[in-house]
A and B are shown apart, each in its own frame.
Chain A
């Protein structure tokens, strides 16, 4: 069964520093992978998705992620953190290509200090 593991429940960076949030997947078939962000008291917002078209995926707000099959990873990065990036980030994998069911990781809280 497809699953994702997010390494680190909390990540702290300084404003302007590189953001790296880790996600590893387990899948018996080529996966469809997603990154979502959740701000306090809000629902989830899609940052980007991997659907096998390109291994480097660019998303909103300057985020990008690279699909690495050899490492079974889909890490999320941003070159320079902003205070407004402070939120919880979720990696997710699609369970069935015909449906809308996602399996989410436990989430990583990104803390940005001035």
Chain B
């Protein structure tokens, strides 16, 4: 069974630009979550989608958005990039609740904003 796939692995963008990151969950998984990982703040929750609906959102500005498609694949978008957006963005999928179905993480997309 293929794992969680994130593309691209690396991105370099300039301040003010926008970026789209993609995540393909494990087959059959309907929940997709996104996390931002930085050395200073650690892992911070961005949002979670389940069956194309956002069911939870972290404390990030509106420049961060996401969506989930009918095949459970998810994208997140960051507009008007700032230097502080440089981070490793991790996607994770599960069947629904992590009590019964653990979160499976992808290897992440490393975004560098210059």
Q: Is A42 an interface residue (CB 8 A)?
A: yes
Looking at A32, A102, A103, which has the most chain B CB atoms within 10 Å of its CB? Answer: A102
Which of B96, B107, B108 contacts A100, CB < 8 Å? B96
- Which partner residue on chain B sits nearest A107 by CB separation? B42
Looking at A45, A95, A100, A106, which has the most chain B CB atoms within 10 Å of its CB? Answer: A100
- Chain B interface, >50% SS class: strand
Interface string of A74-97 (1 = CB under 8 A from B): 000000000000000010001111
In the complex with contacts A41-B107, A44-B90, A46-B102, A101-B48 CB distance below 8 A: yes
B: contact size bracket:
20 to 34
Q: Give the CA-CA distance A107 to B94 in the complex, in Å.
A: 22
- Give A74 Cβ to nearest chain B Cβ, in Å: 15
A: contact size bracket:
20 to 34
Q: Give the CA-CA distance A107 to B97 in the complex, in Å.
A: 23
Q: Is A25 an interface residue (CB 8 A)?
A: no
In the complex with contacts A32-B98, A46-B102, A100-B103, A90-B43 CB distance below 8 A: yes
Closest 6 CB pairs of A and B: A43-B105, A104-B43, A44-B105, A46-B102, A106-B42, A100-B31
B interface with A by C-beta (< 8 Å):
4, 31, 33, 35, 42-43, 45, 48, 50, 55-56, 90, 92, 94, 96-99, 102-108
A interface with B by C-beta (< 8 Å):
32, 34, 36, 41-46, 49, 51, 90, 94-107
